Structures are given as C-alpha cells and as structure tokens.
Amino acid sequence: MKTANNSEQKNRFGMRLAWILSGIVLGASVLLAVLFAIRGHRTVIDLENYVNVGTDAGGNPAVLLDVDAILNDLRLPNPNRPGVNAADYPEVYALCTAKMHLVPIDAEHMRVTIEADTETLARYGISFAATTWEQQVKGFVAGATPTPVPLPQTEAPQVTPEPAEPDGYLTSLLDADGNGINLRSVCEAVHNERDLLCKEIFGNNYDTTKTQVAFIVYTGGRHNNLYRASYTATFRPEDGAEPVTIWFTVDVYDLVRTEGRIRYGSVDVSMYDSEEESKRLPGGGTATKLWGGGVRVNGKNGFDLNGFVRFPGCPTSYRLPNGVYWSPTYDLLDEDMIWALTAVDGHSLANLLRYARKEIYARYYAAFDPKTEREFNEHFRSYAWYEPRDPDLTGRMTEAEKSNIRLLREIQSLIEK
C-alpha cells in the first residue's frame, strides 16, 4: 500500500515537472517571438519616401535621408536620445551610417544611390525596395548637406578652398554668401553708449527709439568705415510737465575682421537739434541704410518651403514620410546662427526672429489668435502641414526649444532697442 502511494506521488511530481518545463519552453518561445518582432521587422522600406533631393543654402546639389523618421516608423531606438548607443543595435547603426550619392540626369532629376550595410539589415528583416532610383529635384532642402556629384567622364578638379571672409576692414555687412555678418559686439557697444548718455541726462526714466541705422564706407580720410545708429530719446516727468526729447547718433568707426571676429575702433556720440538732422548722413563715402537694424537683401526669401525661418548652414526642419518638414526637437541655436540671418523683403531681422519663435509653437500646432496674432495665423495657415489645435503647450516643449525661445527673444530685444 505504501509502495503504491509512493508511485502515485512520483507520477504527480513528474507531471508537474513536465508542465513546468512546458511553460518555460512556451515562455521562452513567446519571448523570442517578441524580441524577433521588435528587432526583426521583416519590412521593405521605400527610401524615396524618406529622401529629399534639392540644393543646399549655397545652391549645391544636396540630399537628405531622414533616418529619424525611419527609426520612428520601425520603432527602433534613436541614438540621438540619451542613453541609446547605436553600436548596441546593428540595424540602427547600419541605417545611421548609410550614405547617399547623386548623379545628375537633367535639370530637374537626379539618380540617387544608397550605400549601406544591407547584409546586416537583412538579418533583422529590413530591406530596401530599391538602392538606386530617379528622383525629382525639389529646390532648397532644409538641413541637407552638400553631396558630391560626379562629373560625366571627367574627374572633378581639386580646388583649394580660400577663406570665405579674409581679415581686414569691412566694406560690406554681407559675407560672400550674402548673409548678414555677426555684429553683436558692435550693437552692444552702440547700446552701451546710448544708455550712458540717456542715464546721464534723464536718469532711469526715459524711452528710446531707433530711427535709422546706416553703414558708410569711406574711400579715404581718417576712418575706413562707419556704423551709425540714430536715436530719439524722450523723458516724461512724473509731475506731468512737458516731455523732454533729444536726438543723437552713436558712431562706431573702423569695423575690422581679425581672426574671424568683428572688432572696431573708436565710438562717438553726437547730439542734434532735430530728428531730421540726426538722420542726415555724412558725405564722402558710400552709405547703405540698414532696414530695421538688420541687413536687407533684395530678392531673397527668409523662409523655406514650409514657412520655417532659414538659418544659414543650420538645419531647422526634417522631412517626414508624409512630405512634411517638421522637427519636434528643434536643434539648439547659437548666437552666430541667429546673427547670420539676413533681413529680406518685407521682414526686418527682428521680425524674422519673431517668426522663428512662433515657428516653435506652430510645430506643436498651437493656435494663433486671428486678431492679436493675425500675421502668424495667416502665415502658418498658408502651409498644408499646419493644423491649429491647442494653444496650451505647458510641459510639452523640450529644453532645447525653451532655450531657443529665450535666445531668440533676447537678440530680438537687443536689435529693437
């Protein structure tokens, strides 16, 4: 009787062990299937949906492969995010290191060829619909880098690049590419002298208005060039007496580029009896009036194809699979990028900075008030990608976007003063 019970207990133990082992095998199979589903997508990518062909800011052939969009669509980790190392994900590394080549077909089309580790991608179930195809050139490509284009039957000549802007006295406030030169040091010198004069006369109770900015290049004489800002300053007594107004100019002489930076010579302040006199420019040189405190270049467009402000040499937007240019993270801007902007027809430099700030909100589809923010409402509504939704962006912006807004507002205020 005891032997029978022992035998029955052994059978029950064996059955339980079998069930446990079966459960482990099944669990392992499910886990492997999930891992395979995550890491092995078994999908075919039509790269043409993620590639934009056109020209960069300098008019050179350029191509942009939106790897971020591919990683997002495949639900793969993005190495641009903290804690993600592309080397830990072979398929991600293969996508991030892919290279694009262009060959011109005609004025409107390019042959695009991708060079990538297709064997590694295939191991993870990822393949391309094609590695070579023809694609239409669609104009300016925001964020693209110049791509070497091979010349038919001949080798491109090797040209030693010359410095874009040699050292020496400035004869223009535009660089070789037609972009405005970074004059922050000059503007700060002007504002310091302006405030010193006004505080000496009025104390802290005054308002200033910039009435004119001009750059004058002399052909000879004591100075090489002159940056002049004209101001009207008004003091309003607290006792209700009549306001007091003064007119003056701040002149910065001998603007010179040394070691890539803009420096200057002496700074003078002159007072006048009327606004008209303060705006009268001296003779003996070639004068250029600067519109709104920035540099105006006729015939240039300050916005890309999707209404985003074009920062020279800085990508501000990326192409998503649906053709929309949109960057949820918005790259960090620095002062040089912002001061390199050039005022264009219809927009001063300060106004472009306003649009750049509002653009960050528009990328989140923030709604602009049709009355108080009519210009931004009309501007962004003219683009198919924009959908006005919710004005409350609390907690949704990245630190980079918040930092950009602060910097754009700071420089805009500096210009408008």
- The per-residue pLDDT for range 169-225, each reduced to its tens digit, is 888 888 777 777 888 888 888 989 999 999 999 888 888 888 888 899 987 767 788
Higher pLDDT, 94 or 244: 244
Q: What pLDDT digit, counting tens, does each position of 15-34 carry?
A: 665 666 565 555 555 444 54
Q: Which of 288, 309, 396, 391 is nearest to 351 (CA)?
A: 309
What pLDDT does 150 receive?
40
Torsional sign, CA 338, 344, 350, 354: negative
Average pLDDT over residues 311-336: 62
Higher pLDDT, 276 or 72: 276
- If residue 244 lies in a helix (H) or strand (E), which one and from where to where? strand 244-253
What pLDDT does 267 receive?
94
Residue 310 clears pLDDT 90, i.e. is over it: no
Q: What is the C-alpha separation between 78 and 86, in angstroms, rounded?
A: 8
Task: Return the residue matching tokens 């004209």.
Answer: 230
**pLDDT winner (highest mean) among 5-14, 78-87, 249-258:** 249-258
Q: Do residues 67 and 34 make contact, with C-beta atoms less than 8 angstroms apart?
A: no
DSSP sequence for 66-77: -HHHHHHHTTPP
Q: What are phi and psi of 203, to 5 degrees?
A: 80, -135
Residue 239 clears pLDDT 80, i.e. is over it: no
Task: Return the residue matching tokens 């052909």.
Answer: 219
Lowest mean pLDDT among 57-71, 334-348, 357-371, 400-414: 57-71
What pLDDT does 262 receive?
86
> What 8-state DSSP symbol labels residue 171?
S
Q: Which residue ranges make up each domain of the chain?
A: 44-146, 168-296, 302-416
Task: Return the residue matching tokens 């300053």.
Answer: 233
Q: Which of 329, 351, 362 is nearest to 408 (CA)?
A: 351
Q: What pLDDT digit, counting tens, does each position of 53-112 carry?
A: 776 655 667 777 878 778 777 777 877 776 677 667 788 888 888 888 878 777 677 788
Task: Return the residue matching tokens 């003996």.
Answer: 284
Question: What value does the mean pLDDT of the chain take?
Answer: 76
- Alpha helix ranges (H) inside 40-124: 67-73, 90-96, 118-123
Average pLDDT over residues 239-259: 89
Q: Do residues 112 and 119 make contact, with C-beta atoms less than 8 angstroms apart?
A: no
% the chain with pLDDT above 70 = 73
Residue 147 — very low, low, confident or very high, per pLDDT cuts 50/70/90?
Answer: very low
What pLDDT does 315 receive?
60
Task: Return the residue matching tokens 């209700």.
Answer: 240
Say whether 167 sits in a helix, a strand or coil: coil
Higher pLDDT, 252 or 141: 252
Torsional sign, CA 357, 358, 364, 369: positive
Q: What is the C-alpha separation between 278 and 249, in angstroms, rounded?
A: 6
pTM: 0.53
Q: Which residues, in sequence order, are bridge partners of residue 117? A: none
Residue 417 clears pLDDT 60, i.e. is over it: yes
Average pLDDT over residues 360-381: 89
Using only the alpha carbons of the chain, give its radius of gyration. Answer: 31
% the chain with pLDDT above 90 = 18
**What is the number of residues in the chain?**
417
Q: Do residues 189 and 264 make contact, with C-beta atoms less than 8 angstroms apart?
A: yes
Q: Do residues 77 and 84 make contact, with C-beta atoms less than 8 angstroms apart?
A: yes
Q: What is the C-alpha separation between 216 and 40, in angstroms, rounded?
A: 65
Residue 383 — very low, low, confident or very high, per pLDDT cuts 50/70/90?
Answer: confident
What pLDDT does 228 receive?
92
